[in-house]
Amino acid sequence: MASVLPVELQREQERIERVAREMGLTFFRVIFEMVDWRQMNALAAYGGFPTRYPHWRWGMEYTELAKSYEYGLHKIYEMVINNDPTYAYLLEGNAMVDQKLVMAHVYGHADFFVNNVYFGHTDRKMIDAMANHATRVRRLQERQASKRSSGSSTPASRPRTSSIPAPCSARETAGRHPPTSLSRRIPGGSPRSRTSTAT
């Protein structure tokens, strides 16, 4: 899905990281990946995570983001995941000056994630946790589908698999702080950041 940075941006990342450390910022290792606007909207629809359990609401969120982008109502410049290592996605096609500015901005997020008391108890392996949740829900759905096809459960006793994601979503976010941050720019306006919860 995502691709590694071009060589020129890799060099800029090294330079920006060095300056950030000289300025006193501390952060986990930052991994940048380049994505196109469709991939960026898909990641944003998933709350910033590359893998989530299957549910119709991710598609609904993607459609809303994609239409908004197509009509020029917003543009997501980057997404940062509060993880160890920290993952950040850059939008391909941006000008080099935009990419460098966004990369510097990402290091500010990464420092904040590590050093702010509010984020002190955040699960730093949320990418793995979300992938595990997705695998578990898919297995439950497959098990339920095989029971239906074999006729081993009656409709009255059979739980609906569409009810599985609701408690999973609540469990993912219970007692946790927002794990991702994305920055959007409204055309004609100033950049704004939205911290999104992993729902």
Q: Could you report the average pLDDT of every consecutive run of 10 residues in the chain (199 residues)?
A: 82 96 95 88 75 66 78 80 88 92 94 86 70 71 73 52 54 51 54 41
Quick one: pLDDT at residue 199? 27
Q: Do 113 and 122 meet the contact criterion of CB atoms below 8 Å apart? A: yes
Q: Is the pTM of this model over 0.85?
A: no
Quick one: pLDDT at residue 29? 94
